[in-house]
Amino acid sequence: MKNPYEWLADTVNNHTWTVAGIVAAVFVLACFGLTMVTMETGDDTYIDKDTPRGALLAHYKDTYGSDAIMLIYEADSVRNPEILGYIDRLQEDLRNERYVAGVSGVVDLLKQANGGALPSSRAEINGIIGQAPPEMVERMLPSDLMTISVIALDPGVSTQVQRQVLENIGSIIGISEPPPGLSVTVSGSPAFSKEMGEAMGAEMGTLILAAMILMTFAVMLLFSHVRYRLLPVGVVTVGLILTFGLMGIFGIPVSMVVIAAFPVLIGVGIDYAIQFQARFDEESQHSTLPEAVRTTIVHSGPSILIAMTATALGFVAMFFTPVPMIADFGKVCAIGVASCYLAALIIVPVFGILTNYRPKEAKSVNSASESGHSLVERYEHLIGKMAYAIAKHPLPVLLIFGMIAVGGYYLDEKVPISADEKTFVPDNMPALEDMEKITRTMGATSTIPVVVTADNVLSLETLAWIEQFGTYEQEHNDKITGVTSIATLIRDYNGGVLPRTSAEINEVITLIPEATLKRYLNGNMEAVLEFSTVSMEMGAQKSFIEGMKNDVAWNEPPAGVTVRITGTTEMFVALMDDISESKMFMTLLGFAFILTFLLLVYRRVGAASPLIPIAFVVGWCGAIMYLLGLDYTPLTAVLGSMSIGVASEYTIVIMERCEEELAKGVGYLDAIQHGVQKIGMAITVSGVATISGFAALAVSSFNIISNFGIVTVLTVGFSLVGAIVALPAVLSLMYRYAGSSRAPTPAVTGITD
């Protein structure tokens, strides 16, 4: 019975046009799937709704309210009656919009204090503002140059609906004819998410184009000795479109982290296309096209599959992170490397037959050899001698590399973790600048919600605890500027004191407007306290949330009462812990997956050899993160498991070639020298091509992506050093103690030179 690769080779040779037609049909289907790809921003990219924390946050936003939209008004004097009249008319128009729960601003304060009518003179306006509570004026009218309106949306509106509301608000403002000198800016979290999604779409196209350009130059420079040297670029393009199509079909969205997957795929995927075309070109020099097709598919197919599978397993380890955008990054990369492998496996031989492929004459190489040695030959000779010397004296190399790696693992623990979404995007993004302007004037725009559940949250005991806890937090935490809850509402509508009987509570409840009541009470079994705070950095937010959890435990709730902190701030604080825990977990899981795979393929303990240099690489990456002053983010958190996947390809291919040489009966030192010398150049070319793809990440305007690009470029360089320098030392010890007379058979034959 033929194995799958023999069957594929015969099918390509005997039914070339049929295979080409199938490839074209799959390509068209992928293009259809590409139209289904969506952009995703917001909470769903950071937290899984199926987890208790994610379910609580989703429930809170669906029940009590979504993020508010802010309108920033700026003029020489926003206290001008004409400007305030415009703001009042605009707010009335916005209140009639669908999905808008309410609109509030300084004009509401003025009308409330003036019998329901807007004051007509500046003197009246200044008088009312002078008598209003200072903290209220500071939030609504931070200066004479600016004021802010807050648009509250209905609870539970989706991101798509928020964008629709934003477009409607923009249209209303566009036809509202503001007074001369007045500018109106739409801001707030929904506006920030909308602009970030648009920027992500533009960024993705820029990064893919940059990666393709860099890749094209690299291939033209390094792959010039073969005919149709840009074929690998075309193969990767097909693999990329197939990846997009599968993303659309499987519903995997594009997020801020997933964007970085595409240059990664271009960098990794080009390696498969180069290896297949190099082998096909080599075979076609001394055999017929059908024979070259069969040898390329049957011999190179399985060996590259092993390397591809090891790479994919590094990405599979990311599936198990609690952060959805990291899991999606792993899924896209795993799908992408498989797509690029299949594209290269099929397209290269089909293209060769359809174009009646003929290799280039090797005159330039011969002439170079006659006058001396070519640059390629000198490089191969150099790394071969280096590998022999390292294999002869392996311990010093391993000790030095091992000590650096241990230091890197130690420094890795000191690398800070960043989960502040605003630091991930371009510094000059207009929506970010508007958000920072609001934060500077109003303080933090988001609250810290505390959800209280009980059999009856309106019982005297539970209400008293809610009131007492809110008061305790205000008195003991200087970062809290206020608290609103069902207890404060009932107190305010009852003359400043809580009722003493259940009947009185029910009577007061009927006095509270339903729209106000729904923001803090859900039936009789759930209520919310909302704490407003000053603006804080992520580290301070983390300490704040931890302190509040301790305060809940200290102020023990009544029996049967459950208290849970939620909200966007708590989500990002939890994200810091998720990154800290999952980055090491993904790294260890990647090691475990690849080790298990290698043991299954090779069926001997020595199969673990390629992982030792990879362990060095992971340690070196930790050191470089610390020395460059970079943070761990949802993207750089994947660095460990991704490094394992990328580096394993190089180390596995070199080990395969060394064992192929050892199987010929030569000594282990010569086997290592010949193996590294023959495969080292191909590995270097692949590594440089991969670096070219990754380098595109460094030009990203998104800080989270550009920092990742810098580190991944260094990581691939480290992987090459680990494969060419560290692996010979590891193999030397393995062969020495396993017995140099052993002649193992590699798992597959025909690794590309």
- Which pLDDT does position 752 carry in this prediction? 40
Confidence of residue 740 (pLDDT cuts 50, 70, 90): very low
- Among 752, 748, 682, 610, smallest CA distance to 302 is for 748
CA atoms within 13 A on the CB side of 604: 12
- Which pLDDT does position 753 carry in this prediction? 39
Q: Is residue 668 part of a domain?
A: yes
Q: Same domain, yes or no, for 141 and 268? A: no
For position 547, which CATH number holds? 3.30.70
- Which pLDDT does position 406 carry in this prediction? 94
Confidence of residue 442 (pLDDT cuts 50, 70, 90): low
Confidence of residue 325 (pLDDT cuts 50, 70, 90): confident
Q: Same domain, yes or no, for 365 and 392? A: yes
Q: What value does the mean pLDDT take over residues 97-125?
A: 86
Q: Is residue 50 part of a domain?
A: no
Range name among 13-27, 253-267, 311-325 with the lowest pLDDT average: 253-267
- Which pLDDT does position 343 carry in this prediction? 94
Q: Same domain, yes or no, for 84 and 166? A: yes
Q: Is residue 143 part of a domain?
A: yes
Q: Is residue 88 part of a domain?
A: yes
Scan for tokens 């010569």, then name that residue: 670
Burial of residue 183 (CB within 10 Å: 0-12, 13-18, 19+) is exposed
Whether the per-residue pLDDT at 742 is higher than 90: the answer is no
The token pair at 150 is: 């807050």
Q: Same domain, yes or no, for 388 and 275? A: yes
Q: Are 418 and 625 in contact (CB under 8 A)?
A: no
- What percent of the chain shows pLDDT beyond 90? 24
The token pair at 411 is: 């420094």
Q: Same domain, yes or no, for 512 and 558? A: yes
Q: Same domain, yes or no, for 235 and 376? A: yes
Scan for tokens 């502040």, then name that residue: 420
Continuous H helices in 355-459: 363-371, 375-392, 394-412, 430-442
Q: What value does the mean pLDDT take over residues 149-160?
A: 82
Q: Same domain, yes or no, for 333 and 287? A: yes
Q: Is residue 325 part of a domain?
A: yes
Q: Report the alpha-carbon distance of residue 191 to residue 177 in Å, rounded.
A: 22
Q: Is residue 592 part of a domain?
A: yes
Q: Report the alpha-carbon distance of residue 696 to residue 694 in Å, rounded.
A: 5
Q: Same domain, yes or no, for 452 and 508? A: yes
For position 250, which CATH number holds? 1.20.1640.10
Whether the per-residue pLDDT at 42 is higher than 80: the answer is no
Q: Same domain, yes or no, for 152 and 133? A: yes
Confidence of residue 8 (pLDDT cuts 50, 70, 90): very high
Q: What value does the mean pLDDT take over residues 73-91?
A: 90
Per-residue pLDDT reduced to its tens digit, 214-242: 878 877 877 777 788 889 889 999 999 99
- Domain of 720, in residue numbers: 4-41+196-421+574-738
* Residue that finishes a domain, picked among 155, 181, 207: 181
Confidence of residue 362 (pLDDT cuts 50, 70, 90): low
Q: Is residue 503 part of a domain?
A: yes
Q: Same domain, yes or no, for 560 and 504? A: yes
Domains: count for the chain: 3
Render 251-302 in DSSP notation, one character per residue: T--B-TTGGGHHHHHHHHHHHHHHHHHHHHHHHHTTS-HHHHHHHIIIIIHH
Render 511-535 in DSSP notation, one character per residue: TS-HHHHHTTEETTTEEEEEEEE--
Q: What value does the mean pLDDT take over residues 1-12?
A: 86
Confidence of residue 1 (pLDDT cuts 50, 70, 90): low
Count of CB atoms within 10 A of residue 372's CB? Answer: 8
* Residue that finishes a domain, picked among 519, 535, 566: 566
* Residue that finishes a domain, picked among 566, 598, 633: 566
Whether the per-residue pLDDT at 394 is higher than 70: the answer is yes
Q: Same domain, yes or no, for 134 and 177? A: yes
- Which pLDDT does position 745 carry in this prediction? 47
Q: Same domain, yes or no, for 346 and 471? A: no
Q: Are 700 and 257 in contact (CB under 8 A)?
A: no
Q: Is residue 555 part of a domain?
A: yes
Q: Report the alpha-carbon distance of residue 244 to residue 252 in Å, rounded.
A: 9
